Amino acid sequence: MNTRYIPGSEYEELLPGRDLEKRREYWDIAKGLQKTDNLITSNYLESVISDTTAGKFDTEKAVQKVSEYYKDLSADDPEKASEEADKVAARIVAFLERESFRFSPVQLKSIHKELFQDMKQYNPGRYRSYNISKNEEVLGGDSVRYGDYDDIEELLSYDFSEEERRRYSIPFSSSDIENLCRFTLKIWETHPFCEGNTRTVSTFMIKYLRSMGAEINNDPFKTNAKWFRDALVRANYYNVDKGIDSDASFLQMFFENILIDAGHKLESIDLHV
């Protein structure tokens, strides 16, 4: 744990992580998570990543540099297309490097606010105020059923209180992983935020697992983030008329890969109904 003495205080200041290997892993995760919304980071961000993983400056400085870079770009510059992906990726890494975390819906909301702070269309840090649907390719154009916006606070409060009662052991058992899948699915399908929901929930869950002392395999978040979102869709979806039941097995496979290095092959074609 990276700390600094505070003169005249019994406490020490928690500083961002300085593990450069871990920092590289976080960048890979953050870049991968942008693909859940079909966003691609830029070549410019690669230069920033190179400097932070070489220890030239920390990730808080990276957030600042990325913001300044896009502030100076003209609106018609082709690089503008990567603005959201670059900014959100940098903010995810900065958040993951901090030691502080609280298991609470308030933390979930604050993550959304931080990641999308200058993107007004996302209503950063605010729950959605209307109901939504989304045509999903993996469902042949159908939509999952998201929670009613009027119930968001109550649903989150209930799911968090239920999860707080659980006690996990490391290495995680099969039932542990099932419970983690169930909790992740519950907060995802409540869909508290209209946009940026999957990236927010994913960032929260990574930090939650780290707060338990769990070491996770980051490769699935790096290379299969879009698959992860589609697995959440399949776990949520059912259609009685078409004889389709909800199927959480794909989500289970993803969590088994990150938590116990199960090595399941995650093929997109398997997810389609």
| Listed residue (156, 167, 238, 170) closest to 201, CA to CA | 156
Question: Tell me: the pLDDT tens digits for 119-137?
Answer: 999 999 999 999 999 999 9
Residue listed under structure tokens 């005249």: 8
Q: Phi first, then psi: what are they for 129, rounded to 5°?
A: -115, 25
> Are 90 and 46 within 8 A, CB to CB?
no
**pTM for the full predicted model:** 0.91
Residue 273 pLDDT: 83
Question: Tell me: the pLDDT tens digits for 194-222?
Answer: 999 999 999 999 999 999 999 889 899 99
Question: Tell me: the pLDDT tens digits for 3-18?
Answer: 555 665 655 544 455 7
CATH topology of domain 102-273: Fic-like fold (1.10.3290)
| Listed residue (223, 238, 267, 250) closest to 33, CA to CA | 223
Taking 90 as the threshold, does the pLDDT of residue 226 lie above it?
yes
- Per the prediction, the chain carries an average pLDDT of 92
Residue 15 pLDDT: 47
Q: Can you give the residue ranges of every domain in the chain?
A: 1-100, 102-273
Residue listed under structure tokens 């300085």: 18
